[in-house]
């Protein structure tokens, strides 16, 4: 906002407050003008607060490594032969298994669909269970998290945001401060209207003026096309950028369609958004990660990077809401699975391509010491040609270098994709993201969720039914944690052995009961048999066995014995096989 605009606002404010020399001025100020001026004053105050915070952030980061925001710089690929093979696989057409009923609209896009037959009945309750999951908001999902779990989600995100020392937000006086303008509902969500033109003042940290170092901005206009989803933290809007009249849309490099994540007008939610923005900036050039759309950097500014560090851009503010803009992708893995593999799963070729890309993206997360902490099919976007996948929604992400092993919360990550160490209150590591990726890959092939527990306790039970019992070392660590923290006790020691406290519900008494289940000779691994049962005639048996071996190593219950992401990428499952070997392996 220019100095002339500030003068105009001050003059208008003076007129509203009255003037002893000319009292007649007040008569010409309508109620609409008064409310408009108040809204402008709030936006101006918020912008000044953000600028002050940015200055404080610069001072805090003087002794830290300065991030480069040069869009021409790319992250070095993985140093192994499998990276080249994965890139070749990504360039090849992906064969996705068609759904039982078929879909001509999508089959025309896919080259060579594969039909898979199941000997089991299709679980029609899976979709409802997924959308009734207890925890987090899916950025591109239309479902809304259950109200009873909002408090748990907010507490987890608030703790994550509190650990973010480099970005903070000044407290607002009221979450409903914009209700007078009729732009928010009672819960602080922005009420977008289809066809609405959103005029955004986008801060441009790369175009600093020579005198005074004043940060300029660009005006970007977006037309609202629809509401993609709404959850605990925000609502997501699908917007068009080419329908606007501003040339700055092209200067900022915006695609024709974008997804705008509109954070609720709430202090805790705004902090979580800044936390997400921080990690997305670090991963801006990382393949397999949905990029945060930021203003382009000119060649002249790139040359000045060596002498003038470019600070992270301020978040976009629109009517009291923090906005994050992403490229719009039409599908996520949940959509692909429901359309092409509902109940029967996708072809192993598609699963291999998607799983390889996601593991490659996980290496970049680990390189930047970032835990995503909410990987699931809903948070994995798929390109329009179904060839590429990208991980999105970093609202629950955390910095592994800032003592994430001290975080004890049994509700981190959505339940079906939650690693056992989280449920048992053990320290978290990169292994929780690998677990979520492996469970997602298994779901893509099976056509149903691998671990469908109704509660955390039930999740541990179904995990042992598939992967075998927990080790005594892990159970001892869990029992020790329950003595230090108020966590549910899932295991007990009886003499020299441990037993599992399985939760049951007595409908007569109307209360929960616990049944002690022996771990000896009760739980046997069944993952391989499930995968072999789900394969189609066109899926090589040897390939399915290699896939099973990889998943078994990724889903080891003890995280200290779980395979690493780099080792998973080097597994035989991702190595090219000759046509002769593949043909002989089918049966």
Which of these ranges, 20-29, 445-454, 536-545, has the smallest mean pLDDT?
Answer: 20-29
CATH superfamily of 81-140+330-585: Transferase(Phosphotransferase) domain 1 (1.10.510.10)
Q: What is the pLDDT of residue 58?
A: 61
Q: Is the pLDDT of residue 100 over 90?
A: no
Between 339 and 172, name the one with better pLDDT: 339
Please choose, from the candidates 288, 541, 578, 547, the residue with its C-alpha nearest in 3D space to the C-alpha of residue 442. Answer: 547
Can you list the alpha helix ranges (DSSP code H) found in 71-149? 81-91, 104-107, 126-131
Q: What is the pLDDT of residue 546?
A: 97
User: How far apart are alpha carbons 192 and 190 in whole angstroms?
Assistant: 6
Please give the mean pLDDT across all residues of the chain.
74
Take residue 451 and report the two structure tokens written for it: 């671990």
Q: Where are the domains of the chain?
A: 3-72+156-207+214-327, 81-140+330-585
Query: Using CB atoms within 10 A of its CB, is residue 34 exposed (0-12), middle (13-18) or buried (19+)?
Result: middle
Take residue 65 and report the two structure tokens written for it: 């490594």
User: 0.85 cut: is pTM over it?
Assistant: no
**Helix H or strand E encompassing 445:** helix 431-446
Return binding residues for ATP: 261
Three-state SS string over 335-385 comes to HHHHHHCCCCCCCHHHHHHHHHHHHHHHHHHHHCCEECCCCCHHHEEECCC
How far, in Å, are 9, 190, 318, 576 from residue 181 at the CA level? 18, 11, 13, 60
Query: Any bridge partners for residue 389, and if so which?
Result: 382
Between 212 and 462, name the one with better pLDDT: 462
How far, in Å, are 88, 197, 200, 214 from residue 94 at the CA level? 11, 38, 39, 49
Classify domain 3-72+156-207+214-327 by CATH number.
3.30.200.20
Q: What is the pLDDT of residue 139?
A: 43
The Cβ of residue 339 has, within 10 Å, a number of other Cβ atoms equal to 16
Q: What is the pLDDT of residue 88?
A: 52
Query: Any bridge partners for residue 204, and if so which?
Result: 216
Take residue 561 and report the two structure tokens written for it: 């014995």
Q: What is the pLDDT of residue 393?
A: 92
- Which of 135, 138, 204, 374 is catalytic? The answer is 374
Three-state SS string over 35-58 comes to HHHHHHHHHHHHHHHHHHHHHHHH
Q: What is the pLDDT of residue 333?
A: 96
Mean pLDDT of 252-264: 87
Please choose, from the candidates 107, 90, 89, the residue with its C-alpha nearest in 3D space to the C-alpha of residue 98. Answer: 107
Q: What is the pLDDT of residue 246?
A: 52
Question: Are 364 and 286 within 8 A, CB to CB?
Answer: yes
Concerning whether 374 is annotated as a catalytic residue, the answer is yes
Altogether, the residues listed in the chain come to a count of: 587
Take residue 118 and report the two structure tokens written for it: 């199941």
Between 402 and 63, name the one with better pLDDT: 402
Question: Are 196 and 223 within 8 A, CB to CB?
Answer: yes
How does residue 103 score in pLDDT terms, banded at 50, 70 and 90?
very low
How does residue 585 score in pLDDT terms, banded at 50, 70 and 90?
very low
Task: Return the DSSP state at 24.
Answer: G
Q: Is the pLDDT of residue 293 over 60?
A: yes
150-162 helix and 267-282 helix, angle to the nearest 10 degrees = 60
Which residues lie closer than 8 Å to 390 by C-beta, 6 or more apart? Answer: 288, 289, 290, 329, 361, 380, 381, 383
User: How far apart are alpha carbons 89 and 228 in whole angstroms?
Assistant: 31
How far, in Å, are 82, 234, 466, 558 from residue 228 at the CA level? 36, 11, 36, 38
Q: Is the pLDDT of residue 464 over 50?
A: yes
Query: Using CB atoms within 10 A of its CB, is residue 279 exposed (0-12), middle (13-18) or buried (19+)?
Result: buried
541-554 helix and 348-367 helix, angle to the nearest 10 degrees = 30
Scan for tokens 């696989």, then name that residue. 89
Most confident of the ranges 361-370, 392-401, 574-583 = 361-370
Please choose, from the candidates 380, 342, 331, 334, the residue with its C-alpha nearest in 3D space to the C-alpha of residue 359. Answer: 380
Burial string for 303-333 (b: 16+ CB within 10 Å, else e) reads eebeeeebbbbbbbbbbbbbbbbbbbbebbb
User: How far apart are alpha carbons 249 and 241 in whole angstroms?
Assistant: 7
Q: What is the DSSP string of 520-561?
A: TTT----HHHHHHHH--TTS-HHHHHHHHHHHHHHT-SSGGG
User: How far apart are alpha carbons 43 and 320 in whole angstroms?
Assistant: 7
Q: What is the pLDDT of residue 168?
A: 34
pLDDT in tens, 522-564: 889 999 999 999 999 889 999 999 999 999 999 999 999 999 9
pLDDT in tens, 203-225: 665 554 444 555 567 788 899 99
Task: Return the DSSP state at 114.
Answer: B
């Amino acid at each position: 906002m220019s100095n002339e605009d500030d003068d105009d606002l001050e003059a208008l404010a003076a007129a509203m407050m009255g003037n002893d020399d000319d009292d007649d001025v007040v008569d010409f100020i309508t109620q609409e003008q008064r409310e408009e001026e108040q809204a402008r004053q709030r936006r101006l105050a918020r912008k000044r607060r953000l600028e002050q915070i940015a200055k404080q952030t610069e001072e805090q980061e003087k002794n830290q490594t300065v991030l480069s925001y040069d869009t021409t710089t790319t992250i070095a690929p993985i140093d192994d032969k499998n990276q080249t093979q994965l890139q070749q696989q990504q360039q090849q057409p992906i064969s996705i298994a068609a759904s039982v009923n078929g879909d001509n609209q999508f089959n025309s896009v896919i080259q060579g669909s594969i039909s898979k037959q199941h000997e089991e009945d299709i679980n029609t309750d899976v979709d409802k269970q997924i959308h009734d999951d207890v925890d987090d908001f899916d950025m591109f999902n239309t479902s809304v998290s259950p109200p009873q779990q909002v408090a748990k989600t907010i507490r987890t995100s608030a703790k994550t945001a509190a650990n973010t020392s480099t970005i903070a937000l000044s407290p607002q006086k009221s979450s409903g401060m914009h209700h007078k303008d009729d732009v928010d509902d009672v819960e602080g969500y922005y009420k977008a209207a289809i066809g609405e033109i959103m005029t955004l003042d986008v801060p441009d940290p790369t175009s600093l003026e020579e005198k005074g170092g004043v940060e300029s901005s660009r005006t970007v206009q977006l037309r609202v096309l629809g509401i993609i989803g709404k959850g605990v933290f925000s609502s997501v809007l699908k917007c068009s950028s080419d329908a606007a009249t501003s040339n700055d849309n092209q200067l900022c490099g915006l695609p024709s369609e974008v997804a705008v994540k509109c954070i609720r007008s709430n202090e805790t939610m705004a902090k979580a958004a800044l936390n997400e923005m921080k990690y997305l900036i670090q991963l801006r050039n990382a393949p397999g990660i949905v990029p945060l759309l930021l203003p382009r950097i000119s060649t002249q500014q790139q040359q000045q990077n060596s002498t003038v560090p470019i600070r992270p851009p301020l978040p976009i503010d629109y009517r009291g809401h923090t906005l994050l803009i992403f490229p719009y992708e039409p599908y996520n893995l949940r959509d692909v699975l429901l359309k092409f593999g509902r109940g029967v799963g996708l072809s192993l070729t598609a699963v291999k391509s998607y799983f390889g890309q996601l593991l490659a993206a996980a290496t970049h997360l680990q390189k930047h010491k970032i835990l995503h902490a909410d990987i699931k099919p809903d948070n994995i976007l798929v390109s329009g040609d179904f060839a590429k996948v990208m991980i999105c929604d970093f609202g629950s992400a955390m910095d592994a270098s800032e003592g994430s092993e001290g975080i004890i919360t049994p509700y981190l990550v959505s339940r079906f994709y939650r690693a056992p160490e989280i449920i048992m209150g053990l320290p978290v590591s990169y292994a929780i993201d690998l677990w979520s990726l492996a469970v997602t890959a298994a779901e893509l092939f099976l056509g149903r969720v691998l671990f469908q527990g109704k509660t955390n306790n039930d999740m541990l039970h179904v995990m042992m039914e598939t992967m075998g019992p927990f080790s005594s070392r892990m159970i001892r660590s869990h029992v020790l944690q329950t003595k230090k923290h108020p966590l549910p006790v899932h295991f007990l020691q009886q003499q020299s052995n441990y037993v599992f406290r399985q939760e049951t519900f007595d409908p007569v008494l109307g209360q929960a009961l616990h049944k002690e289940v022996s771990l000896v000779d009760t739980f046997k691994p069944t993952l391989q048999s499930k995968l072999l049962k789900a394969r189609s005639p066109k899926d090589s048996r040897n390939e399915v066995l290699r896939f099973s071996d990889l998943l078994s190593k990724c889903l080891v219950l003890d995280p200290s014995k779980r395979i690493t992401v780099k080792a998973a990428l080097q597994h035989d499952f991702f190595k090219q096989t000759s046509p002769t070997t593949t043909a002989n392996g089918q049966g």
